[in-house]
Amino acid sequence: MTKARQRLGRVAEDLVARRLESQGWMIVERNARTRTGELDLIALDGGTLVFVEVKASRAGSRHGPVCPAHAVGPRKRAQVRLLAREWLGARRGPSGVAGYRFDVVGVSLGGDGLANVDHIRGAF
């Protein structure tokens, strides 16, 4: 992954984390490493533990789908599920969790500094 792409991903993850916190979510962990990969964000939405996959692109980019969230296909969904199981197996997680959910947040960053955010709750 190129440095520019990594930087874009970090900017998008920061934006999503701040946005979720402003909506009352608690960020449990960012860039959570497991044996086989990394989860972007793990957060609590009330009593629900949410594994959040963040996808970013530059608006007007010729690369990737118009909506970055659509880039999360079957292979990526299976990988995120596996990573979530690994994470839960290695940690107790926060207490009082009533359920689990997988969300995808697509972020399109415009050249004007504005971002279009597409949050798909319960994406898979």
What integer pLDDT is reported at residue 96 of this predicted model? 82
DSSP 80-106: HHHHHHHHHHH----TT--EEEEEEEE
114 lies in which domain range?
3-120
Q: Which CATH number characterizes residue 71's domain?
A: 3.40.1350.10
> Mean pLDDT, consecutive 10-residue segments, the chain of 124 residues?
85 97 97 96 97 87 66 95 96 84 94 88 95
pTM for this prediction: 0.88
| Domain total of the chain | 1
Query: How many Å apart are CA 39 and CA 54, to the nearest integer?
Result: 9
- For residue range 92-120, what is the model confidence (pLDDT) as tens digits? 777 789 999 999 999 998 878 788 999 99
